[in-house]
C-alpha cells in the first residue's frame, strides 16, 4: 500500500473505495458513569470520536496523549487505549469499525487528533441527526436496548429513514475527513485490487453472521469459480474469502463478549451456532481461550455489573460499615474530650438507635463525619468487584 497525503488529491478506483469496510458500531450522548471514568483496553480495526459536551477527557494511546475540553472532538485511532474523564463529563460518542479488506487501517500518521467543534460544526450537526435516527429504531427482539452493544441486524427501520441515515452517516464521514486533512493525517491506498474480489467481499460484508458462508452469492457476484476467486484474493490480500468471512464473525463475537450485555449462549445463537459446544470450540480455536473465559477476563478489566441479590447485599454491607465507622468516631470523640465511661455508654446507646434507624436515619451526620474523618470510612468501599455476566 502507498501512503497518500490528503492534500495531494491522489485518487483511487471506485471499487477500491467500495472495498473499505466502514460501519457505525454505536452512538450515544450520555454522562460517563463514575465507575467507568478510568479504563484501559485494546481495539482492532476501530476508531472512536468523542465530542466533549461537559467536563474533560484524556486518552493515552500508542505512545501519544491528548486532552479535550468542552467543545472539542477527540478522535482516537490507536490500538491500545487508556482513557480518563473528569467527574460528570458528558460525551457525544461514536465508535466506528473501519479497515481495508486485509485489516489495515484507512488513516495513518497520528493515533490521536483533537478537533475544535466550532471550526467543523457539520461534525456535530450530522452526529446529532444520526443519534436521533438511531433512537427511533424498531427493535426486533427483547434484548437490552442499548445502542452501545447492539448488533445492527437486530434493528429495523423504513427505507426512507435508512436513506436519511445513510445521508447523514456519509456526510459525517466527509466532515471528519476534511478535519483530518487539516490535522495532517495520511491515508493508505492499496496498490492494486481486483474488482471481482471487491464485489465478492461486499457480498460477504452484507450477510448477517447468523447465516452460513454465502458461497453461491459470492461466485455469482464475481463471475469466477470458488477456486479461482480464492487464488486471486490470496494473491492480493493473503487470505481466502472463507477466511475473510470467518474473521468477520470472530470480530463480532469478540465485540459482543467484551460488551458483556449478552450471555455466551445468546452470542453463539446470533452468530448461527445451534450448539454451544460448537461455538466454544470454534472460538477457542481462533482466540486460544473459551468464550466464557474470554468474557470473564474482559469483565475483570472493566467495572462490572452486579446481580440484583449481590447488589442488595453490598448495599446492606456498606450501610453497616458506615454505622460501625460512626460508632468508632463517637467513642473516639468521647475519649478525646475525657468525658469518661458514662459518656461513652451514652454514645454507644446513641449509635444503637442510629443503627436501628437504618441507612436513612442519621444520614446527614454520617456524611458530615465522613468529610471530617475520611480515613475512617475507607473500610468496605472497594467491595464491588466485576463478575462474569455470561
Q: What percent of the chain has pLDDT over 90?
A: 27
d(C-alpha 249, C-alpha 258), whole Å: 14
381, with CB counted inside 10 A (0-12, 13-18, 19+), is: exposed
Cell digits of residue 36: 467507568
DSSP 307: P
Task: Provide CATH 1.10.10.60 ranges for the chain.
Answer: 195-300
pLDDT at 276: 92
Provide the CATH number for the domain formed by 2-189 in this structure. Answer: 2.60.120.10
- Mean pLDDT calculated for residue range 80-93: 92
Assess contact for 318 and 383: CB atoms under 8 A: yes
pLDDT digits (tens, 9 = 90+) for 12-63: 777 778 778 888 888 889 998 766 666 777 777 889 999 999 999 999 998 9
Which architecture does CATH list for 195-300? Orthogonal Bundle (1.10)
pLDDT digits (tens, 9 = 90+) for 97-151: 888 887 788 888 899 999 999 999 999 999 999 999 887 765 544 444 455 454 4
pLDDT digits (tens, 9 = 90+) for 272-330: 898 999 999 999 999 899 999 998 887 776 544 434 444 444 445 555 555 666 666 66
- Arithmetic mean of pLDDT over the chain: 76
Contacts of 263 (CB under 8 A, 6+ apart): 389, 390
* Residue with the three cell numbers 467484551: 258
pLDDT at 204: 87
Q: Which of 390, 185, 156, 366 is nearest to 295 (CA)?
A: 390
Angle at 255 between CA 148 and CA 25, to 5 degrees: 40
Q: Which of 194, 78, 177, 75 is nearest to 122 (CA)?
A: 177
A 10 A CB-CB count for 323 gives: 21
The 3-state DSSP class for residue 23 equals strand
Amino acid at each position: 500500500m502507498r501512503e497518500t497525503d490528503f492534500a495531494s488529491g491522489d485518487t483511487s478506483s471506485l471499487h477500491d473505495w467500495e472495498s473499505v469496510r466502514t460501519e457505525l458500531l454505536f452512538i450515544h450522548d450520555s454522562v460517563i458513569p463514575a465507575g467507568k471514568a478510568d479504563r484501559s483496553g485494546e481495539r482492532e480495526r476501530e476508531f472512536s470520536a468523542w465530542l466533549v459536551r461537559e467536563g474533560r477527557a484524556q486518552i493515552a494511546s500508542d505512545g501519544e496523549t491528548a486532552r479535550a475540553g468542552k467543545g472539542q472532538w477527540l478522535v482516537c485511532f490507536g490500538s491500545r487505549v487508556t482513557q480518563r474523564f473528569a467527574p460528570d463529563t458528558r460525551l457525544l460518542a461514536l465508535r466506528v469499525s473501519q479497515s481495508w479488506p486485509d485489516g489495515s487501517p484507512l488513516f495513518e500518521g497520528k493515533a490521536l487528533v483533537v478537533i475544535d467543534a466550532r471550526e467543523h460544526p457539520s461534525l456535530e450537526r450530522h452526529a446529532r441527526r444520526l443519534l436521533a435516527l438511531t433512537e427511533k429504531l424498531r427493535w426486533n427482539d427483547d434484548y437490552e436496548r442499548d445502542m452501545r452493544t447492539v448488533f445492527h441486524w437486530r434493528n429495523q427501520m423504513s427505507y426512507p429513514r435508512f436513506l436519511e441515515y445513510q445521508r447523514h452517516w456519509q456526510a459525517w464521514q466527509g466532515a471528519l475527513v476534511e478535519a483530518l486533512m487539516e490535522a495532517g493525517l495520511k491515508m493508505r491506498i492499496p496498490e492494486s485490487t481486483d474488482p471481482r474480489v471487491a464485489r465478492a467481499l461486499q457480498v460477504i460484508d452484507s450477510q448477517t453472521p447468523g447465516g452460513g458462508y454465502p458461497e453461491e452469492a459470492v461466485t455469482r457476484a464475481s463471475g469466477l469459480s470458488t477456486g479461482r476467486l480464492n487464488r486471486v484474493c490470496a494473491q492480493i490480500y493473503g487470505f481466502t474469502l472463507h477466511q475473510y468471512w470467518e474473521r468477520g464473525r470472530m470480530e463480532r463475537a469478540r465485540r459482543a463478549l467484551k460488551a458483556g450485555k449478552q450471555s455466551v449462549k445468546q452470542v453463539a445463537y446470533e452468530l448461527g451456532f445451534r450448539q454451544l459446544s460448537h461455538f466454544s470450540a470454534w472460538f477457542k480455536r481462533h482466540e486460544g481461550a473459551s468464550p466464557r473465559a474470554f468474557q470473564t477476563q474482559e469483565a475483570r478489566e472493566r467495572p462490572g455489573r452486579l446481580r440484583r441479590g449481590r447488589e442488595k447485599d453490598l448495599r446492606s454491607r456498606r450501610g453497616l460499615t458506615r454505622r460501625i465507622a460512626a460508632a468508632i468516631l463517637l467513642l473516639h470523640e468521647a475519649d478525646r474530650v475525657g468525658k469518661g465511661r458514662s459518656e461513652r455508654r451514652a454514645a454507644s446507646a446513641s449509635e444503637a438507635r442510629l443503627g436501628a434507624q437504618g441507612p436513612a436515619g442519621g444520614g446527614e451526620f454520617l456524611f458530615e463525619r465522613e468529610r471530617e474523618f475520611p480515613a475512617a470510612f475507607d473500610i468496605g468501599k472497594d467491595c464491588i468487584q466485576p463478575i462474569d455476566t455470561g
